Amino acid sequence: MPNKNSSILSEQIHQYRFDSVYVDFNALNFLDRWLARCLEDDYVRHLPRTEWTTDDSTASYLWKLRRRTMDYDELFHVLCEHANIKFELVRGCVRNTINYEVGADFKNQRKTWTAALLDGEWRLIDVRWICEAAYGVTKNNWRLIEDEKGKVSTKRAMQENRGTYKTHCRFREFYFLADPEIFVFDHFPDDDKWQLLARTVTYDEAKELPAIRSDFFQEKLTLKSHPKSNVSSNDGQVTFEIGFDTSKRMTFAYKLYRSKGCREQVVSTRSALDRFVFLERDLDEGVMRAVIRFPFVGQFLFELHGSEKSDTHHALLVTYFLTCHDIKEDCKPLPPNIREEWGPGEDTKDMGMVPLTHRKGQIEADDGDAEIKFSLDRELEFKHDLVKGEVDIPVTEGHILHTIENGEMSINVRLPEAGEYALNVMAKEKNKKTRFAPACSYLVSCQDEPLESDPFPDTEGKQLGPTATFAQLGFSEDDPWPSFVTNLVTGEYKMAIKRKRNILVAASLELEEGDTTTDYHNYVSVDTKGELVLICATFPKMGTYTLTVFARNTDAVDDSDLFLPLYVKIIEVVLPTLTGTPVPTTALLPAWCHGYSIKEPEHCCLPSNEKVMMSIAIPEASVVLVKGHPECKMKKNENGYWEGLLKTGPPGSVIDIMAKETNRDQAEKIVSYEVVSKEDLLQMEMKQEVTFRDALNRLESKEAEKQSRIITRLNQAVDDRNRPKLEKCLARAKELNPKGATVDITRAEVLLRELLDEEGRLIARKELRKATRISDIPSLEAAVRKFKHLQMVEEDGDFSAAVEVLRNLLDKKVMFILIVYKNRKYNHQIIREVDIQTTV
């Protein structure tokens, strides 16, 4: 009880503490919060100096604590005595302090903490770490590796390399009634009983535990790899995986230190070393993956930082001590990334982009090409860079193409050669005067030479897909295809659009081959039937074409702006037409003509001295005739087509279809045909067939190469026992179904099942050991059942220990207490459920 000299605040606290409506949990929570708040606000400064020297007063205790003549535990125990709470002082050693070296002996890191008895159960509290936190480093033996992109500033690196730290008052509720299974990562008591674990941890085991900080557990993160703090590498690479909740906003960063005693044998500058850490966010598996490539032999320190609330200030999550004994011969730095992470992150989400295809940071473009898709919840503008690693040379032009259609953005990448590339995507809201900001980045890799390395056609800055004019003029697309059409094997492509009013539509077709662009406008036709416009392109050669659809500008001043672009498509043709010939040549149509529809003949070249039926619909025409052929009487039928029988004449002659509007005397040319000999027609068909056969042989050769490559990759994945790569290669192999690969596919399927079983057993063993440590009956029962179902073999007595702990727990009575506060007088109601038993 406080004496008569206690401060008014102390007496009020004392009265508040002893009110019978409070249970021990609330009392302890209040004591911790009150103490932390007093220290944070420096409460003692606001009290008269006479109270500082008064024994057993609030000011006296706080003054002693401030001058370090009293420990946190001592003051907390005084408060516990006033509150009639039973406690024990626990002595031991702690890790994760300022002076702690990861993986090293920490017996000299002495500390005390408190065990409090609540509802008949001992709970753990570290008052000092609740009220106070130290920030900074004392890494005197380590040097922070700087990053050339400013992720780690030179000033900050110098501060960390000098070894500076500060102590701040900060309330951290994590250490209040901490879970014993988590508490042991920081605190190792001299007396094992104060671990409060069903199976105690030895000192050697505690020393090897990962250096995990409180924020790691508060953010609900999980270790997916490396359960020990010391990690060795004999192949020059280490991969860490941290599980996280993908529904939460979480950003990550890292720091990499090198030992001051190791020599840089490969990289001459410290700034380049940061390019050997690949920090990847994998949304499919819900992990943050860090892959470290060691450029030289030596010792390193790796820290992973993260934050749920800030993109710039990250808390330390976990630290690993790394030792590299050997390096890879081809160890190369990563290409430059404009962000800290690779893959879709919080900045991607903030920009309104959701990945539809690639949800992790690395893209394996096995054959040299890849397509990445995002859905967009707002209108955005994009910029992108494709930079080759090692030499850091941009190769964006001609090798990257993006389209935006129907609320989706697609990025197509075609690599010029094998290697690693950084694909950096920047975005900003459309029509806003803001800067482009980093939105996403990928590491695109290709081990083999690309099957297709020719650059994409130069669109001269034109937007692929429908332009703004398309919607403004009332056009719509019927059964839309993507703006970038790949692997077309039919030899022709058709698209239909609808118009709301009589606007003439035209189209052009170009093939880009190296530095040469060939005009193939006579291989694209525009067929107009009322509001429906059908554009049909025929492709005489394999290659990548640009199809542009135009609308006639009725307000044009001169010929330069006579036609407005409506739609731009890129079409990659791998197999040309077998029998196609050019379409009739369209003239510059008069203003009164808004389009036509040809029924026959559909091809431009007509055989000489043959009778041919002509059939064309021109809605606005009052008269249609064939120039130079008065014998061909064109008459309009009930379907609106002008028809007549024509004898073509000698080779080399031209047949022009003319038309005139009502109240006009002069007929104007609409389309033209060319008359050729039958021998020339046959030669054209044979030449086209040869072109088709050559393209078919090339396509078959490319498919055979794809099949050969996938089997090679599949067998490599089998040899490496790489489960993710094995799944990917196996699915691709089944899709391609290469000949003679049945044995390889079967072997891969058997190994995949084996690897999945191994992973399942590993997870089951981890669950069993965790359930044993936390002594949770439902978890133990489930883990024991799974262990038996999988017919697993006991290791280090883990199964026997689990069964014993489960039986001991089932022999006890489990009591649940529900406290309901009814009014401000803190009356409460306790509902108890007892004798709840579960059988094995």
Per-residue pLDDT tens digits for 183-201: 999 899 999 999 988 778 8
How much is the pLDDT for 267?
47
CA distance 21 to 17: 9
Mean pLDDT confidence for 119-144: 73
CA distance 171 to 39: 10
Burial class (CB in 10 A: 0-12, 13-18, 19+), 258: buried
How much is the pLDDT for 824?
38
- First-to-last alpha carbon distance for the chain, in angstroms, is 49
Among 255-269, 330-344, 555-569, the range scoring the smallest mean pLDDT is: 255-269
**Taking Cα atoms as reference points, which of 380, 379, 414 lies closest to residue 399?**
414
Q: How many CB atoms lie within 10 A of CB 748?
A: 22
Give phi and psi for 657, each to the nearest 5: -90, 125
- More confident of the two residues 732 and 62: 732
Domain 230-446 and domain 466-573 have a common topology: yes
Percent of the chain whose pLDDT exceeds 70:
81
How much is the pLDDT for 823?
38
Mean pLDDT confidence for 795-819: 70
How much is the pLDDT for 795?
87
How much is the pLDDT for 82?
74
Name the most confidently modeled range: 60-64, 291-295, 457-461: 291-295
CATH code of domain 230-446: 2.60.40.1220
Q: Is the pLDDT of residue 41 over 60?
A: no
Does an H or E element contain 413, and which?
strand 408-414
Mean pLDDT confidence for 284-298: 90
**E strands along 260-338, which residues?**
277-282, 287-293, 298-307, 315-324
Scan for tokens 């044009």, then name that residue.
556
Sign, CA torsion 307/312/316/317: positive
How much is the pLDDT for 333?
87
Strand partners, 779: none
Burial class (CB in 10 A: 0-12, 13-18, 19+), 446: buried
Buried b (16+ CB within 10 A) or exposed e, 447-457: eeebbeebbbb
How much is the pLDDT for 151?
44
Give the 3-state secondary structure of residue 459. Answer: coil
Do 229 and 106 form a contact (C-beta atoms < 8 A)?
no
Sign, CA torsion 175/178/181/187: positive
Give phi and psi for 179, each to the nearest 5: -65, 125
- For 711-756, give the DSSP string: HHHHHHHHHHT-HHHHHHHHHHHHHH--TT-HHHHHHHHHHHHHHH
CA distance 279 to 343: 9
Identity of residue 7: S
Among 45-49, 68-72, 298-302, the range scoring the smallest mean pLDDT is: 45-49
Mean pLDDT confidence for 237-257: 90
- For 206-267, give the DSSP string: HHHS-EE-HHHHHTT-EE-S--SSEEEESSSEEEEEEE--TTS--EEEEEEEEETTS--SS-
CA distance 404 to 427: 13
CA distance 525 to 671: 11
Do 35 and 114 form a contact (C-beta atoms < 8 A)?
no
In three state form, how does the secondary structure of 69-123 look? CCCHHHHHHHHHHHCCCCEEEEEEEECCCCCCCCCCCCCCCEEEEEEEEECCEEE
Strand partners, 42: none
Give phi and psi for 355, each to the nearest 5: -65, 130
User: Is this model's pTM higher than 0.75 or not?
Assistant: yes
Residue 308 DSSP one-character state: S
Reported confidence tier of residue 139, pLDDT bands at 50, 70, 90: low
**Taking Cα atoms as reference points, which of 365, 390, 368, 251 lies closest to residue 310?**
251
- More confident of the two residues 500 and 531: 531
How much is the pLDDT for 44?
52
Percent of the chain whose pLDDT exceeds 90:
36
Do 624 and 616 form a contact (C-beta atoms < 8 A)?
yes
Do 87 and 27 form a contact (C-beta atoms < 8 A)?
no
Do 354 and 375 form a contact (C-beta atoms < 8 A)?
yes
**Residues in the chain, how many?**
840
Buried b (16+ CB within 10 A) or exposed e, 377-403: eeebebebbbbbbeeeeebeeebbbbb
In this structure, what token pair is assigned to residue 551? 């609308």
Q: How many Cα atoms occupy the beta-carbon half-sphere of 35 within 13 Å?
A: 30
Reported confidence tier of residue 131, pLDDT bands at 50, 70, 90: confident
Do 565 and 463 form a contact (C-beta atoms < 8 A)?
no
Among 12-16, 23-27, 101-105, 323-327, the range scoring the smallest mean pLDDT is: 12-16
Reported confidence tier of residue 657, pLDDT bands at 50, 70, 90: very high
**Taking Cα atoms as reference points, which of 339, 307, 336 lies closest to residue 438?**
339
How much is the pLDDT for 394?
87
CATH code of domain 466-573: 2.60.40.10
In this structure, what token pair is assigned to residue 280? 């990847």
How much is the pLDDT for 70?
74
Do 805 and 774 form a contact (C-beta atoms < 8 A)?
no
- More confident of the two residues 286 and 19: 286
Residue 483 DSSP one-character state: S
Among 104-113, 450-459, 519-528, 685-694, the range scoring the smallest mean pLDDT is: 450-459
How much is the pLDDT for 315?
85
Strand partners, 111: 92
pLDDT per residue over 703-731, tens digit each? 999 999 999 999 999 998 988 889 989 99
Sign, CA torsion 178/181/182/183: positive
Q: Is the pLDDT of residue 227 over 60?
A: yes
Q: How many CB atoms lie within 10 A of CB 501?
A: 9
Q: How many Cα atoms occupy the beta-carbon half-sphere of 814 within 13 Å?
A: 11
- Report whether the peptide linkage leading into residue 601 is cis, meaning its omega lies within 30 degrees of zero: yes
**Taking Cα atoms as reference points, which of 335, 316, 344 lies closest to residue 277?**
335
CA distance 627 to 625: 6
Among 149-158, 682-691, 804-813, the range scoring the smallest mean pLDDT is: 149-158
Mean pLDDT confidence for 550-563: 71
Q: Is the pLDDT of residue 148 over 50?
A: no
Residue 205 DSSP one-character state: H
Reported confidence tier of residue 314, pLDDT bands at 50, 70, 90: confident
In this structure, what token pair is assigned to residue 296? 């030289």
How much is the pLDDT for 614?
93
- Characterize the bridge pairing of strands 315-324 and 277-282: unpaired
Q: How many helices (H) and strands (E) does the chain have?
A: 17, 47
- Characterize the bridge pairing of strands 400-405 and 408-414: antiparallel
How much is the pLDDT for 39?
56
In this structure, what token pair is assigned to residue 274? 């940061």
Q: Is the pLDDT of residue 132 over 80?
A: no
Reported confidence tier of residue 58, pLDDT bands at 50, 70, 90: low
Domain 585-676 architecture: Sandwich (2.60)
Does an H or E element contain 659, and which?
strand 654-660
CA distance 734 to 271: 45
Q: How many CB atoms lie within 10 A of CB 97?
A: 14
Mean pLDDT confidence for 281-293: 91
Does an H or E element contain 354, and which?
strand 353-355
- For 34-52, give the DSSP string: HHHHHHHTTGGGGS-HHHH
- Characterize the bridge pairing of strands 611-617 and 816-821: unpaired
Mean pLDDT confidence for 727-738: 89
Among 100-114, 146-160, 379-393, 457-471, the range scoring the smallest mean pLDDT is: 146-160
Q: What is the mean pLDDT of the chain?
A: 81
How much is the pLDDT for 825?
37
Does an H or E element contain 355, and which?
strand 353-355
Residue 373 DSSP one-character state: E
CA distance 93 to 190: 8
Q: Where are the domains of the chain?
A: 8-220, 230-446, 466-573, 585-676, 682-739, 740-840
